[in-house]
Amino acid sequence: MSKDSKLKQYTGGCLCGAVRFEAEMDLSEPVSRCNCSICTKVGGTQAYPKPSAFRVTAGAEHLGEFRKGSSPNFRSFCKHCGIHCFSAGFVEELGGEFRSVNIQCLDDVDPGELKVVYWDGRHDNWEAGTRDRPWPIRS
Ligand SMILES: [Zn+2]
């Protein structure tokens, strides 16, 4: 069976409902958390749809953007309720241009039923890949 056959369409949104999005993803694959400075504080859990498989369906005008310095990577959040729903950017080790979705914002998905793996984003240690327990936040 090809991997693509497990792609399913998911919808999601922020807390107040101003921002809505949809994405095709395979959530039988692990989702991930990261120890970088913003992921540590915000605490979202990410899945990575193909950029072409992600769409904002409502409320683009309500989105704010946060990025650290000149990073190509940014997080989009609802300016009303503050929830970080998704992000985008460019990380070579993730295959270049990427989108990520905070799976905790999805409709009809129980995050506790998904397998979670961890990135060491704090140290730009993408080449190490993911592992089953969190990486330290201090080096
Ligand atoms: Zn909102």
Could you list the mean pLDDT of each consecutive 10-residue stretch along the chain, which spans 139 residues?
Answer: 75 98 96 92 92 97 94 94 96 87 96 95 90 91
pLDDT at 102 (0 to 100): 97
Distance of CA 35 from the midpoint of ligand 1 (Å)? 25
CA 82 to ligand 1 center in whole angstroms: 6
* CA–centroid distance, residue 2 to ligand 1 (Å): 36
Domain range annotation of the chain: 8-117
Ligand 1 center–CA 20 separation, angstroms? 9
pTM to 2 decimal places: 0.88
The 3-class SS string of the chain reads CCHHHHCEEEEEECCCCCCEEEEEECCCCCEEEECCHHHHHHCCCEECCCHHHEEEEECHHHEEEECCCCCCCEEEEECCCCCEEEEEEEEHHHCEEEEEEEHHHECCCCHHHCCEEEECHHHCCHHHCCECCCCCCCC
Query: Would you tell me which CATH number, out of the four given (2.115.10.20, 3.30.420.10, 3.40.50.2300, 2.170.150.70), belongs to the domain 8-117?
Result: 2.170.150.70
- Provide Rg for the chain, Cα atoms: 14
pLDDT at residue 116, rounded to an integer: 97
Q: How far is the CA of 62 from the centre of ligand 1 (A)?
A: 8
Using the mean position of ligand 1's atoms as its centre, give its distance from the Cα of residue 99 in Å: 19
Q: How far is the CA of 19 from the centre of ligand 1 (A)?
A: 6
